[in-house]
């Protein structure tokens, strides 16, 4: 019945493998956020433990006390086998197993961007292939998406609260219903310290432009997994590009629907079809902004050259 699963310092100390005294000291030093019962007993949220473990490069020796995955198995099997395990778990709709695998990799200090690219996206790509071969049903893929989005929400709440001054927003265009890439982008940007908020899927271009001028983010991302044949993408995109130029937002695009042919006609700040690319861009752009703020001669110029390239890890029903 507990919304936020709370555990005692003793449980955490056993899970991490340190003495209870040390753990209580860390709590009192503020390294771990705690809540107190009316009688003064400390209670620690599991997500806080996860955050702490990851920050401090610790290992969960006995994760079972926290209802977390047995690190012994998962942490070692790494990304490759994690991907195949994950795919079958997603196909079977086994949310618990999916959560275990993902958290396991997350606790093993793998960056979120890598988990997104090489495990989650990879698993969904393979599911898409199976679906093409009639070996998987659409409902399995959809159910898997629901599960994946939930896990990403769980990961999100393990992150430290973002710096509110670095706003980033994004979403998908009209007719593109695939929410996973945009949710991933939100997660990755938050991991990089941005206050990223996904606006959702299937938004009209006019509304996206409106959001840019209203919210005035430093980064705007656009995930394009599908383009409706009926719309003039290039023309509509140009409006977005202009809105970003006017407000000084960095326009980041990605998605498997953006063919090279299409990209040549677009103006943007960066093309990332991998979450790892997005992450590096987020970090560098952060530094760009910081140094621009330093030299207070308001140089609003944003480089418009960056252009990573690889394949896009998505499938579109």
**Residue 101 corresponds to which tokens in the numbers above?**
């695998």
Under rule CB under 7 A, which residues in 40-59 are in contact with DNA?
Answer: 40-42
Q: Does 39 bind DNA (CB under 7 A)?
A: yes
DSSP readout, 107-141?
A: HTT--HHHHIIIIIIHHHHHHHHHHHTTSS-HHHH
Please give the structure tokens belonging to residue 125. 């790509």
Q: What are phi and psi of 170, to 5 degrees?
A: 180, 180
Q: Hey, what are 243's tokens?
A: 């809105």
How many other C-beta atoms are found inside a 10 Å radius of the C-beta of residue 259? 9
CB-nearer residue toward DNA: 149 or 289:
289
Binders of a copy of itself among 2-21, rule CB under 8 A?
2-4, 6, 14-15, 17-18
How many Å apart are CA 254 and CA 231, to the nearest integer? Answer: 18
Directed axis angle between helix 180-191 and helix 138-158, to 10°? Answer: 20
Q: How many of the chain's residues bind DNA (CB under 7 A)?
A: 19
Residue 73 binds which entry of a copy of itself, DNA, none, with Cβ cut-offs from 5 to 8 Å by kind?
none
Residue 201 sits in the site that holds a copy of itself (CB under 8 A): yes
Q: How many angstroms separate the CA atoms of 198 and 142, rounded? A: 20
Helix (H) / strand (E) containing 220: strand 219-223
Site size toward a copy of itself (CB under 8 A) is 62
Say how far apart CA 145 and CA 183 lie, in whole Å: 11
Regarding 154 and contact with a copy of itself (CB under 8 A), the answer is yes
Residue 8: contacted member of a copy of itself, DNA, none (CB under 5 to 8 Å, by partner type)? DNA
**3-class secondary structure, 316:** coil
* Interacting partner of 9 out of a copy of itself, DNA, none (Cβ under 5 to 8 A depending on kind): DNA
What is the token pair recorded at 316? 């579109």
Q: Is 202 in the site for a copy of itself (CB under 8 A)?
A: yes
Instruction: Kindly state the smallest distance separating residue 248's Cβ from a copy of itself, in Å.
Output: 19
Q: Rg for the chain (alpha carbons), in Å?
A: 21
Q: Which is nearer to DNA, 38 or 133 (CB)?
A: 38
Confirm or reject binding of residue 1 to a copy of itself (CB under 8 A): yes
Strand bridging mode 219-223 / 250-254: parallel
User: Which of the ranges 38-46, 73-81, 119-127, 192-200 carries the binding residues for DNA, by CB under 7 A?
Assistant: 38-46
Question: Binding residues for a copy of itself, per CB under 8 A?
Answer: 1-4, 6, 14-15, 17-18, 22, 26, 29, 31, 33, 35-39, 45, 56-61, 63-64, 93, 103, 137-139, 142-143, 145-146, 150, 153-155, 157-161, 171, 177, 197-204, 207-208, 210-211, 214, 317
Question: Binding residues for DNA, per CB under 7 A?
Answer: 8-11, 18-22, 24-26, 28, 37-42
């Amino acid at each position: 019945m507990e919304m936020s699963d709370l555990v005692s310092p003793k449980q955490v100390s056993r899970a991490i493998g340190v003495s209870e005294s040390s753990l209580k000291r860390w709590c009192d030093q503020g390294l771990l956020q705690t809540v107190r019962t009316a009688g003064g007993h400390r209670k620690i949220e599991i997500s806080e433990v996860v955050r702490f473990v990851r920050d401090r490069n610790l290992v969960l020796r006995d994760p079972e006390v926290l209802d977390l995955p047995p690190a012994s198995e998962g942490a070692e099997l790494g990304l490759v086998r994690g991907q195949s395990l994950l795919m079958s778990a997603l196909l079977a709709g086994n949310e618990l197993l999916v959560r275990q695998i993902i958290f396991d990799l997350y606790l093993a200090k793998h960056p979120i961007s890598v988990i997104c690219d090489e495990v989650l996206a990879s698993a969904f790509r393979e599911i898409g292939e199976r679906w093409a071969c009639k070996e998987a049903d659409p409902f399995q893929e959809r159910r898997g998406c629901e599960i994946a989005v939930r896990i990403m929400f769980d990961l999100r709440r393990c992150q430290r609260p973002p710096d509110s001054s670095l706003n980033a927003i994004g979403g998908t265009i009209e007719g593109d219903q695939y929410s996973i890439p945009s949710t991933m982008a939100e997660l990755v940007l938050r991991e990089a310290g941005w206050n990223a908020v996904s606006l959702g899927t299937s938004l009209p271009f006019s509304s996206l432009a409106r959001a840019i001028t209203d919210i005035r983010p430093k980064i705007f991302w656009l995930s394009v997994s599908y383009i409706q044949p009926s719309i003039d993408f290039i023309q509509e995109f140009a409006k977005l590009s202009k809105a970003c130029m006017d407000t000084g937002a960095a326009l980041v695009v990605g998605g498997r629907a953006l063919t090279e042919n299409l990209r040549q006609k677009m103006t943007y700040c960066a093309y990332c079809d991998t979450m790892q690319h997005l992450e590096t861009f987020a970090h560098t752009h952060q530094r760009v902004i910081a140094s621009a703020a330093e030299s207070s001669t308001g140089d609003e110029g944003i480089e418009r050259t960056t252009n990573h390239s690889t394949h896009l890890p998505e499938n579109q029903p």
